[in-house]
Amino acid sequence: LIKFKNKNKQVINQQIASTSKNIRIVILGSGFAAIETLKKLQNQYNNNNNNNNNKFNIEIIIISKDNFFLFTPMLPEVFSGMIEPRHIVTPVRDFCKSKTKFYHGTITDIDLKNKTVTMSYSIGNYSHPLYHQEKNLSFDYLVIALGSKTNYFGNTNMEKRSFAMKTINDAFVLRNHIINILEQAVIEYENVELRKSLLTFVVVGGGFSGIETVGELNYFVKNTIKNYYKSINPNEVKVILVSAEENILTEVDEDLGIYTKNILEKKGIEFKMNRMANEANLDSIVLRNGEKIYTYTIIWTAEVTLSALIKNLDCEHDRKGMLKVKDNLELEGFSKIYGVGDCAAIIDPNSSNGKLYPPTAQNAIKQGQLVAENIIRDIENKIPKKIKYKVKGSMAKIDKRSGVAKISHFKFKGFIAWWLWRTFYLSKLPTLKKKIRVVSDWNIESLFKNDVSMIKGYVEEKSDDNTAISENNNNNNNTNRNKHHQLHNSNTTLK
């Protein structure tokens, strides 16, 4: 059934004929888990000239709000300008064999009982569409691989005033913001207080993305200043990592976390451990212990959560709202509907205390493969396989030429870990074309100065709006803040 709804609430229903021989598999998302499921299903059914002895006509549909796959491990290198943004994204259509259908739309509803999903998409100009249409699609098999989103723990000010590092747009916005801040710092050479807060950068979160982001940020800011902003002394720059936990990189290993912290401290990064970030203002961040850090750059990478769509699905969830799945990855209480990747709570059978597989790309890939295999087995009336793989290891890049890695029982640090990181992730990057482009980006970056062009369209998207500015001006009761802003507002003449 296809249901069209236009701006005037006119609804057009369309019935798609289906025969009893049709099996429709719908995959939601275009991240690691979804693409892996798609690849394995396509291999099996090979454009439907297939291995199921033509018993069924297999129809594969993939739906995502992004028409590309984003290779997140290299995202921090995009904001630092080391890699061009297009080089870490691959169009979903590049993965689709000719009979697979891809729909670029946002899933707004999943009806698990009636086996339909609702997708919304825009008509007309992308940023100012004329109207939105809705389409309902029925399915025989459903793979929910909708990932996670940044968790602000309900702190709306933090959400509004901090930068995230989750999407390709986040990387653009942050890059432009940092260049913009450096431009401002150059002009504000007389206003010591303002320049100090402009040159203070705070990253919140000590996990994978927080650590990779803080390392890249520290290198990017200092290297860019050295190359282009000669009136700024790199020692004026303060890069701070705030973590609510005692250790960093807990996903990797405690020892490697300590090593990473030492390296980053030597590079000048300040760590504030066991501290919760509590409040975000336009010009500062306040920690739960009352400490206030004046800054115009807060990057929030602390934890992930689920979208309202996933949290409100009418099925079993864990404490955080993740989809509870059985050991064959079907949702608890449902058959032929699967949950995978960051949005699913999947118990690692190798752990003694029922721990979940952590939300990593490596796990999403393995789970995507298993889901595809279990769908194929189900179609062939075979018993499904249970999840049982062991996590092989983890790696993180922590600076220009150093990293940490734990592979099986072996631990690597420094250059060798960085080299392993690069080699491994390059091998995982989809398509030869993108691999060549990323390698050439790396080589060019090591030979030439980085680029500091600021493409303004992207700045506007995340910048605080005018209401925030007037909110700031109305806040003048706070004496300390007022004093700080009087300094900021003083007029100076450029020499």
Q: Residues in the site for ligand FAD, rule: CB under 6 A?
A: 29-34, 64-66, 72-73, 75-76, 106-107, 145-147, 165-166, 208-209, 212, 307, 309, 341-342, 359-362, 364
Using CB atoms within 10 Å of the CB of residue 295, give its burial: 0 to 12 exposed, 13 to 18 middle, 19+ buried.
Answer: buried
As measured in angstroms, the least distance from the Cβ of 160 to ligand FAD is 20
Contacts of 327 (CB under 8 A, 6+ apart): 347, 349, 386, 387
Angstrom distance (rounded) from CA 80 to CA 489: 30
C-beta closer to ligand FAD: residue 26 or 198: 26
C-beta closer to ligand FAD: residue 71 or 141: 71
Q: What is the three-state SS of 118-186?
A: EEEEEECCCCCCCEEEEEEEECCEEEECCCCEECCCCCHHHHHHCEECCCHHHHHHHHHHHHHHHHHHH
C-beta closer to ligand FAD: residue 36 or 188: 36
Q: What is the DSSP letter of 34?
A: H
**Of 330, 370, 372, 328, nearest in space to 42 by CA:** 372
Angstrom distance (rounded) from CA 25 to CA 274: 46
Contacts of 108 (CB under 8 A, 6+ apart): 118, 119, 120, 134, 309
Is 116 in a helix, a strand, or coil?
strand
As measured in angstroms, the least distance from the Cβ of 442 to ligand FAD is 16
Single-letter amino acid code for the residue at 53: N
Angstrom distance (rounded) from CA 164 to CA 158: 10
C-beta closer to ligand FAD: residue 158 or 225: 158
C-beta closer to ligand FAD: residue 145 or 277: 145
As measured in angstroms, the least distance from the Cβ of 71 to ligand FAD is 8
C-beta closer to ligand FAD: residue 281 or 402: 402
Single-letter amino acid code for the residue at 337: I
As measured in angstroms, the least distance from the Cβ of 229 to ligand FAD is 26
As measured in angstroms, the least distance from the Cβ of 68 to ligand FAD is 8
As measured in angstroms, the least distance from the Cβ of 14 to ligand FAD is 21
As measured in angstroms, the least distance from the Cβ of 394 to ligand FAD is 7
**Token output for 389:** 């793989």
As measured in angstroms, the least distance from the Cβ of 376 to ligand FAD is 20
C-beta closer to ligand FAD: residue 212 or 253: 212
Angstrom distance (rounded) from CA 131 to CA 135: 13
C-beta closer to ligand FAD: residue 236 or 251: 251
C-beta closer to ligand FAD: residue 328 or 360: 360
Using CB atoms within 10 Å of the CB of residue 72, give its burial: 0 to 12 exposed, 13 to 18 middle, 19+ buried.
Answer: buried
Angstrom distance (rounded) from CA 378 to CA 385: 10
As measured in angstroms, the least distance from the Cβ of 446 to ligand FAD is 21
